[in-house]
Amino acid sequence: MANKRILVTGGAGFIGSHLCEYLLKQGEEILCLDNFFTGSKDNVKHLMKHPKFELIRHDVVEPILLEVDQIYNLACPASPVHYQYNSIKTAKTSILGALNMLGLAKRVKATILQASTSEVYGDPLIHPQREDYWGNVNPNGLRSCYDEGKRCAETLFFDYHRQHALNIKVVRIFNTYGPRMHPQDGRVVSNFIMQALTGQDITVYGNGLQTRSFCYVDDLVMGLVQMMDQSADFTGPVNLGNPGEFTILELANKVIEMTSSKSKITFRPLPQDDPVQRRPDISIATEKLNWNPSVQLEEGLKKTIEYFKTMI
């Protein structure tokens, strides 16, 4: 079977760059598309000389004509610091970006995967979160540009599937971490590691008892690829995340311990609509994709800390 030509939007971002790298190793031809708002050429510079890798500077808010077999639509700032910086642009990226990529997929008859998010569940009233839960989302808060943008993108994907028989895949990504995270993205893993390595106080919002689940990026990439390879009759949505659940305080203490830092923990008010609990039910991913994350938190943190040491 001939190798596939695959478009990865947001391909120079944290997750996108790892996905491009993995797909190249599988012998695929990769078009990496990014506008470099949060992505970085540094994330893919080691791929630049690969004969099957092409980097395209482009914003998914604008249409583009390409010939591809598969599309992974990852383009969108994913951390509150970045997506709240220009909230209207964030909503446009989610909604117009989805429309443009769906239009492209329809024209060339490509399979298209949408990187949705656990944020579609909002501040959940059920725990853990299953795919049949509709969520508890504030439609006009500070996080709404991202939460509702991603919810609308899911709507568009399923409407294209129903109306045009487009082969779609929808995954909901829970907290993911690893090398190439943006050091100033404001997310808890990168925040804690950078603060610990530079001797700053570790900033915990709220009382630190709110929980998160942390999936190492290599595990997530395998889930994305396994979802893309499913038959056309399986669309998702599917949760992809590590069901291991930790309080923010547990994470802070683990980072301090693993970096041998003298940082102290300080507490600040919880931001608006910040979820109290977040843990995926991955029963569908396990059953349909035969997927289970294998990297334990300590192992993943070790690799991530080593990466951030090179950034300082």
3-class DSSP state for residue 242? coil
E strand or H helix that includes residue 142? none
Q: What is 179-204 written as a DSSP string?
A: TT--TTS--HHHHHHHHHHTTPPEEE
Cα atoms in the 13 Å half-sphere on the side-chain side of 61: 11
Phi, psi of 71 (to 5 degrees): -130, 125
Chain-centre distance for alpha carbon 230:
20
Residues 72, 146, 177, 216: which is the catalytic one?
A: 146
Whether 153 contacts 100, CB under 8 Å: no
- 216 labelled catalytic: no
Residues whose CB falls within 8 Å of the CB of residue 148, separated by 6 or more in sequence, listed in order: 91, 137, 139
Q: How far apart (Å, rounded) are the C-alpha atoms in residues 218 and 230?
A: 19
Kindly list the catalytic residues.
Answer: 146
